[in-house]
A and B are shown apart, each in its own frame.
Chain A
Amino acid sequence: MRKDFKKDKKTGNRKKFFVRRRKACKFCVEKIEYVDWKDVKTLQGFIPERGKILPRRISGVCSLHQRKLQTAIKRARAIALLPYATD
């Protein structure tokens, strides 16, 4: 059993052992405390094609900044800087 397992590790299925890089919160890294709802360029990075807000499990944003980002995006949507939905 053990031997088999070892073999497996050596030969195949590299993907299984692929080490995922830890995502860092963009706002923490750049030391931005205030997520500006007027800054469309930054916000757009968190809006995939469909126009939804990118979940933080994908973007890696910390919970504090995700909450701020959320209100910022919603404000920008209200004045048509960002779309509510696109298809």
Chain B
Amino acid sequence: MRLYDIVVVLSPEETPEQVTALVDGFKKILTDDGAQLKIEEIWGRRRLAYPIAKRREGVYYYWQVEAKAETIAELERKLRLSDEVLRHLAVRADEELRRSVKLKKRREAKAAAKPKKAPAEAAAEASEPPAEA
């Protein structure tokens, strides 16, 4: 199981009912295959940065899911087939997340190692940290 970020851009001409039906269909593909929906964000109607298929707006949906690679492949296939989907993007989120945690830890370790040399200085720094970065 891996963590994925998925964004789907739907055509703005769809009625709200059609949109929810479509979205539920996509979510069903995920959940039926044992995927877990972690975050769901409905960004709603947004202006597109450039026209896609003569449309200037799109309805955006964002999900973060924990799923198997095959599940994502299946979802992407469905997304590509449906005409209502203007654009979609599914990328792995776990690798970047782990890396950022690692970097954070390393920085904290560095910060923790510093005060040993000059405790007084570090204390002063701690009281007003981001003033001179």
Contacts and interface: CB of A to CB of B under 8 A. Distances in A.
Interface in B57-80: 58, 60, 62
Nearest to B46: A81
Interface string A49-87: 000000000000000000000000001011111111000
Interface residues of B, number: 25
A1 interface: no
Contacts, number: 43
B100 A80 contact: no
Given A29-B133, A33-B99, A33-B104, A79 B9 contact: yes
Given A31-B107, A38-B62, A75 B89 contact: yes
B121 to A, nearest CB: 20
Contact of A80 (B58, B96, B99, B107): B58
B9 A80 contact: yes
B interface majority secondary structure = strand
B133 A81 contact: no
A81 B103 CA distance: 28
B102 to A, nearest CB: 9
A83 B100 contact: no
B23 to A, nearest CB: 16
Interface of A: 24, 29, 31, 33-34, 37-38, 75, 77-84
Contacts of B49: 77, 80-84
B97 interface: yes
Contacts of A82: 49
A29 B107 CA distance: 12
